[in-house]
Amino acid sequence: MSTNQDKMFLNNNIICTGLSGNEIYCLNLYGFQPGNLLIGNSVFALGLISGLTSSLKMTIGGEIKQLTKMVADGRRLSLNRFEEELHRTNGIGATGLSSQIIFHAGNVEFLSIGSTIHRQDSQLNQVFTTASDGQELFCQLDMGYAPIKFVFGNVAYSIGFMKSFFGGLKQMVRGEVKQYSDIFDTTRRLALTRITDEAKLFKANSVIGIKTTILPLGPQGIQEMIMVGTSCYNQQLESLTQQDSMILTSNLNAEEMWNLAQSGYAPVSLLLSTSVYSLGLIGGIKASLKNLIKGEISDLTEMIYGARQKAIEKLQNQANDLEADLVVGIKTYIYDLGSGLIEFLAIGTAVKKVTGLKTNSQQLPVQAIIKEKDTFINSSDALYNYNLQSQNPKV
C-alpha cells in the first residue's frame, strides 16, 4: 500500500471493516473494537511455475519441493506486508486473515486480507493475527485459547505424471496401489507437519480452526495442498502438551470445539488417512458395458465400500497411538485421479477428556452461532469455471 493510501486510512475517521454485525457484537464482549480492512500482496510471474513444471515429465508423483518453496515464499511475503500494515495502523490484532492465490493474465498474485481490531486496555502481550473470524475468535477466547499468529503449511505435488505412468497398468491391477497410497499419505501429512513446525516457532501449544484446501497450480496435474489455522496457547491444556512438546491440532469449527469443551473434551490431533485404489479390469468392463446392462456392479460396490472402511480404520489406529478417547467430525472424500485411479481421503479430529476443562461462559450468545447470508452472488463465476474445466480438463 502506498504512503498516500496510508495517510488516507490513518486520517480518515470512517472505519472500513470486513467484520459483520455479529462479529462486531461478539468481539465487543471481549473489549475489541473494529478497525480497517487491510491487504498485503505480492505478484509473481506465472512463468516461474511453468518453468518449474516443464522439467518434471519423468516425475512419478510426490512433492515438488522447488514449487512448494516458491509458493510458500509468495504467501509469506504477502503475509509480511499485511503485518506491516497492521503495525502501522496500531491494531492489537487482525481477524479473518486469509492467504489466497489469484491467477491474472501471465501472473500469479499472493494475497493476504483481513480486518484489524483494536483494544484500549489490552491484556494481550503482543499483536496477533488469526485465521478465525470474529465469531470464532470469541468462542476460542472463551475456551482459553490466546491467539498468537496465523500459520500455514503447504505442499505442492504432482499427480499428472503418476497417471501417465500408471496408465499402461490399469488393466492388470485392481484394488489398493500401495506405493501410491504411501506417496499420497506422506504428501498429505507434510502440510500438517509444516503448520505445527511453524507454530512451535511462536511458542504455541495448539493450532486450531485448521482449514485444508487443494488448489490447482497449473497444467499437468500440479496441485497444492495448504492448511491454514491459528497458533494459540491454552494454559488449561499444558498437561497434554508439556511432556512431549506436542502441538495440539484441530479442524473442528469454533462452535464445535466450544461444545466439546463444555463436555470436558479437548482436541489432540487432526488425523488424515489416504489410499489410492485402481478400478482395474472391473472399471474397464463397467465402462464398456454401461450402455448394455443396468443394476449394481457388486464387485465395484464392495471394493469402494472397503476402501472407505480402511480409511476410517487408519484414523482409528492413529487415535489409538495418541491414546485419544474419540475421533469426531470425520469426513470422507473421493477424488478421481484419472487412468482408473481413485483416491480415498478421510479427515477427522482426535479428542481426549481433560480434567478441569471449562469455558468462561455457560452458554454461547446467539450472535456467535448465527451464519452470515451471502448478499452478492455472481453466478457467471461458476459458468466460467465450468467452461475452463471443460476446455482444460487437466487444470
Question: Is residue 114 in some structural domain?
Answer: yes
**pLDDT-derived band at 57, boundaries 50, 70, 90:** very low
How high is the pLDDT of residue 291?
47
- Tell me which residue of 131, 138, 172 sits closest to 22, measured CA to CA: 138
Q: Is 340 helix (H, G, I), strand (E, B) or coil?
A: coil
Question: Is residue 64 in some structural domain?
Answer: yes
- Tell me which residue of 327, 329, 315, 311 sits closest to 268, measured CA to CA: 327
First CA to last CA across the chain, in angstroms? 32
Q: Please give the distance of CA 299 from its chain centroid, rounded to a whole number.
A: 34
- Where in the sequence is the domain holding 248, given as residue range(s)? 3-171+179-269
Question: Is residue 295 in some structural domain?
Answer: no
Cell matching residue 375: 448478499
Question: Is residue 394 in some structural domain?
Answer: no
> Is the per-residue pLDDT at 261 higher than 80?
yes
Phi and psi at 101, nearest 5°, equal -120, 130
How high is the pLDDT of residue 223?
86
How high is the pLDDT of residue 365?
94
Q: Are 94 and 82 in contact (CB under 8 A)?
A: yes
Q: For the chain, how many structural domains are there in total?
A: 1
Which spans in 280-378 are helix H? 280-289, 298-321
Q: Following DSSP, what letter does each residue of 105-134 receive, concatenated?
A: TTEEEEEEEEEEEE-TT---SS-EE-SS-H
> Is the per-residue pLDDT at 330 higher than 60?
yes
Phi and psi at 17, nearest 5°, equal -120, 155
Question: Is residue 349 in some structural domain?
Answer: no
Question: Is residue 316 in some structural domain?
Answer: no
Measured on CA atoms in the order 298, 301, 307, 312, is the torsion positive or negative? Answer: negative
Cell matching residue 233: 496457547
**pLDDT-derived band at 122, boundaries 50, 70, 90:** low
Average pLDDT, the chain: 83
pLDDT digits (tens, 9 = 90+) for 174-227: 677 777 788 778 888 899 999 999 999 999 999 999 999 988 886 667 889 999
Question: Is residue 281 in some structural domain?
Answer: no
In sequence order, what are the beta bridge partners of 225? Answer: 155, 214
> Is the per-residue pLDDT at 256 higher than 50?
yes
Q: Give the separation between CA 359 and CA 259, rounded to whole angstroms.
A: 9
How high is the pLDDT of residue 354?
93
pTM of the complete model: 0.85
Does 308 or 230 have the greater pLDDT score?
230
CATH code, domain carrying 160: 3.30.110.70
Question: Is residue 163 in some structural domain?
Answer: yes
**pLDDT-derived band at 159, boundaries 50, 70, 90:** low
pLDDT digits (tens, 9 = 90+) for 263-282: 999 999 999 998 888 776 54
How high is the pLDDT of residue 240?
83
Whole-number Cα distances in Å, 273 to 24, 311, 372: 38, 6, 32
Q: At CB < 8 A and 24+ separation, what contacts does 353-357 make? A: 353/264, 353/265, 353/325, 354/236, 354/237, 354/239, 354/240, 354/264, 354/265, 354/266, 355/264, 356/236, 357/236, 357/261, 357/264, 357/265, 357/266
Q: Give the separation between CA 259 and CA 106, rounded to whole angstroms.
A: 47
Q: Give the separation between CA 71 and CA 111, rounded to whole angstroms.
A: 12
